[in-house]
Each structure stands twice: as C-alpha cells, then as structure tokens.
Amino acid sequence: MSSVWSSPNPLLFGRGKAGETGNELRKLGCKKALVVFDRGVESAGIAGRVIAVIEAAGVSVVAFNEVQADPPDWSVEAAGALGAAEGVDCVVGVGGGSSIDTAKAAKLLITNPPPLKQYYGRDGVVTKPSVPLIVIPTTAGTGSECTPGGVITDTERGIKTNIAGVGCSVTLGIVDPELTYGLPKAVTASTGMDALCHCIESYTSARANPFSGVAGREGIDLVAKYLVRACEDGSDAQAREGMMLASSLGGIAMSGALCHLSHDIGRSLGAKFHVPHGNGCAACLPQVLWAVAPVKTAQVRYFAESFGETLAPDDPADEVGLAAYRAARELMARIGLPNMKALGLDRAQLLSAVPDEVVMQCEMAARAGFVTSPVPVSRELIADIVSRAYDEN
C-alpha cells in the first residue's frame, strides 16, 4: 500500500476552551498577535471575546476584520502585509473556513514575501517556517483547524487553489463548541453538511487510507446522531459538541485522502455561482453516493446504515447506492437544506459550466498526481449527476 497520512496538529477541544487562547499564546512566547476575523464574527461578539482574553494575558493585538468569503488573493495579501508591517510574532484566526484560510495565508506571508501566487499548489511548494498560528473555528464544518493547508481564490485565473507547507501550518487548534451556540439553523445545516461531505468523501476517496477510514466513519456516526438535533435546537450543548467533533474528524479524514466529486462540484458552484461552500458540496451528495456505490460498496453501506437504512448482507451495490441516496436526501430535507432551485440556480447554466469545470479541475489534479474520485470522471458523468440532483433533490 502507498498512501499519504497526515497527523493533525495539537487540538485543545472542549466547552469554554477559547478562554485559554491568551495563555496558550504566552506559552508559545508570543507578545503581539495578528487576530484575523470577519465582520460576522465581529458583530456576534466572538472576536471581541477572544481579543479580550488575549489582551488579558499580556499579549497585544493587531486586528484584521476584513476577511472575505472564499478569500481572494488580494484580501489575504492585505492581512499578511498588515502582520508584517506591525511586526507581529503570532497569528490567530477566528471564524469559519474563510477566516482560518486567511489566517494561514497571513502567517505564510510574514516570512515568505508576496505575491502569494508563487506558493500555490499542494506538493513540492517550499515555504519558510513562520510564526505560531492558533486557529479557533466558530462553525462546525470546515475542519481546517486540522488541515495542513488553505484554500484561496486565485483572482487572475478565476479558480480556487491551495496553499500548503510549513509556512502556513497550524500550531494549535482551539475547538470550543460554545462558539457555535448562536449559529442560525441555515448555517448549522450548511456547515454540518460540509463536515459530512469531508467524512464520506475521504472515506470513499481513491486516496483513502486507514486514518481516513477511522476518522471518516466516526464523523459520519456523529453527524447522523447530532446534525438534526443541532439544527432543531441550536442551544443543544451535546449536539453542538458532537458536530464540532465531527468537523475536526472530517478535517483529519481528508488531510491525506482528500475529497472528490461532491467537493469538486461544490467548488465549481462556489466559483461560478457563489453558492456557499457547504450548500454547494451537499447539492449533489445523494447522486454522488449512488455513482460511487458500485466501487465503494462497503463504505457507502456504512453511510446508509449510519443514517438508519436497513440493508440485507447480500444486497447488491445498486440497492446500497439507492439506500445511501435516500438517506442523504432525507437528511437534507430534515435540516431544511435549500436545493439548487431554491438557491436560484438555472439548470441550463449549470450544465453548460459545471461538468467542463469539474473535468478540467480533475484533469489538472491528476496531472499533479492527485486522483481522488473512485470512479472515472467524465463530462457525461458530472452532467448526469448535476442534472439528476437539480431535478430530484
């Protein structure tokens, strides 16, 4: 067997742990922090609370509150320039995936000169070590507190790309479920489906490995148990904790195995039609499960049975695929996830853009040695998945 296993960085997990951020920075010897967040995290009062505990520990703060969704290169370069100009000795990212990815890029740019584009790519990109980075997720979905890189929008080419390497690595993730108590149902649903897609896609990836199996299966079970509860009652502490754990497990699962078709389609929906990441990745999940069931039957069966489907031991792959398809659709209905029509998408526009984009991305990844889809990717397959998802979900 040949595979890639990524061990996660240390995580401090538990209710109230965000209150220890200042002490953790002091343990790292830090004196001046660049704290990176967006206006939503700021208006929810979370950024202010984190800044207060950092300052109470005697660490001064330079705030960057201009994080953009699907962070574009120019925005993360502004964060890095601020950190470099202020001479910070650490970075703290507070928020969803966009804030954490911006913080990773800002860290990278403190010891690696701009422009950021010279560091794009997953493999073979050499970056210099940088200052410590603490990331504090405020949603249960991205898992990026456990992943070794970040996703940045390359505005020159109009695509999403990756940064990786020691220059942007996470020093410590502080995972505090209490930070998600105030999230609205729609955000809980969308980010929760992102976590689920990380778990099931990495579990069924062509690059799947024992780590992605263990973490992916556990994450699937947690989402099956807690996502509906977290959506129905945002103050359900046990459900929030379970979803936060599922999110981190999803990050661990995908670190080496990577995601495949649901995320490939989701990235295209995000780049071309500005669909929120979790909604885009989940939009075709039932059809993707059905498509990969013939080659990943045991894994798709695990998913279906975790969500309450009953299957006989000798049920064929198409029955297994249908059970998983039903389970995913039922979950999406129960949590009120908007389908592609409700997201305002047009069928013809989707079909003219998404299949070509996904095939191109998969071909580029394959040339770089990253084949993740367990089934051959063709324009016809993606068009079938997308058109069925549009009509059926």
Point out which span in 130-138, 177-185, 188-196, 323-331 binds Fe ion (CB under 5 A): 188-196
- DSSP secondary structure code for residue 89 in this structure: S
Part in contact with Fe ion (CB under 5 A); list of ranges 14-22, 77-85, 154-162, 190-198: 190-198
Least distance (Å) between residue 277 CB and Fe ion = 6
In the bound complex, what is the minimum distance in angstroms from residue 139's beta carbon to Fe ion?
11
Of the pair 83, 141, the CB lying nearest Fe ion is at 141
Identify which of 60, 156, 160 has the alpha carbon closest to the alpha carbon of residue 105.
160
Does residue 305 sit in helix, strand or coil?
helix
**Are the CB atoms for 358 and 373 separated by under 8 Å?**
no
Q: Which stretch binds Fe ion (CB under 5 A): 60-68, 115-123, 194-202, 213-221?
A: 194-202
Tell me if 241 contacts Fe ion by CB under 5 A. Answer: no
Of 69 and 84, the one with the shorter C-beta distance to Fe ion is 69
Pure H helices in the chain = 21-27, 39-43, 46-56, 73-86, 97-111, 185-204, 210-232, 237-257, 261-273, 277-282, 285-292, 297-306, 317-334, 347-367, 379-392
Stretch near Fe ion under the rule CB under 5 A, chosen from 189-197, 283-291, 292-300, 326-334: 189-197
Nearer to Fe ion, 322 or 389 (CB): 389
Interacting span for Fe ion (CB under 5 A) from 177-185, 191-199, 208-216, 225-233: 191-199
226: nearest Cα among 136, 353, 140, 158: 140
How many of the chain's residues bind Fe ion (CB under 5 A)? 1
Query: Is residue 264 part of the contact set for Fe ion (CB under 5 A)?
Result: no
Nearer to Fe ion, 190 or 297 (CB): 190
Strand order in the sheet with 11-13: 11-13, 172-175, 133-137, 90-95, 32-36, 60-64
Minimum distance of Fe ion from residue 195's CB (angstroms): 8
Pair of tokens at residue 139: 């949603």
Q: Compare residues 262 and 339 and give the one whose CB is closer to Fe ion.
A: 262
| Inter-residue contact 93 to 64 (CB < 8 Å) | no
CA separation (Å) from 33 to 65, 151, 222, 274, 277? 13, 22, 34, 32, 29
Q: Is 194 in the site for Fe ion (CB under 5 A)?
A: yes
Nearer CB in complex with Fe ion: 145/194: 194
Smallest separation, CB 281 to Fe ion (Å): 5
Contacting range for Fe ion; rule: CB under 5 A; set: 154-162, 187-195, 204-212, 377-385: 187-195
Work out how close the CB of 158 gets to Fe ion at its nearest, in angstroms, rounded to a whole number.
Answer: 19
Residue 340 tokens, joined:
């592609």
Q: Give the bridge partners for 34, in sequence order.
A: 62, 91
Task: Give the CB-side neighbour count of residue 155, counting CA atoms within 13 A.
Answer: 11
Binding of residue 89 to Fe ion (CB under 5 A): no
Q: Contact, 211 vs 253, CB < 8 A?
A: yes
Is residue 254 within 8 Å of residue 219, measured between CB atoms? no
Question: By C-beta, is 97 or 338 nearer to Fe ion?
Answer: 97
Which residues in this chain contact Fe ion in the complex, by CB under 5 A?
Answer: 194
